[in-house]
Amino acid sequence: MKTITFDLYHDGVKWIAKNGQIIVSGETLEELDENLKLKLKDMFEDEKTIKVNMELDYREMIPHWMWQYHPYYFYRTVYLELD
């Protein structure tokens, strides 16, 4: 099983997952997951399941004075079935 890691952002309208190669968005986390699934299905035809780690990029989302609390924010792991 492959594992892929993304930085996670919210622009006020959509959730955005991106890494150095892939950018995917959705208005809800469910929509983001479905769009990720479609994108990864095209890229990894031989894989049945992909583990996706997402970490909220607190530097972009949270005011500087709150950075000290960032470990308590959003870490997310989903297993996407590509079949």
According to the model, what pLDDT value does residue 1 have?
86
Write the DSSP assignment of the chain as a string of letters. Answer: -EEEEEEEEE-SS-EEEE-SS-EEEESSHHHHHHHHHHHHHHH-TT-SEEEEEEEE-HHHHS-GGGGGGGGGS-EEEEEEE--
Q: Where are the domains of the chain?
A: 24-48
Series of mean pLDDT values for 10-residue runs along the chain (83 residues): 91 92 96 95 89 83 71 80 86
According to the model, what pLDDT value does residue 54 have?
93
pTM, two decimal places: 0.81
According to the model, what pLDDT value does residue 28 have?
96
According to the model, what pLDDT value does residue 71 have?
60
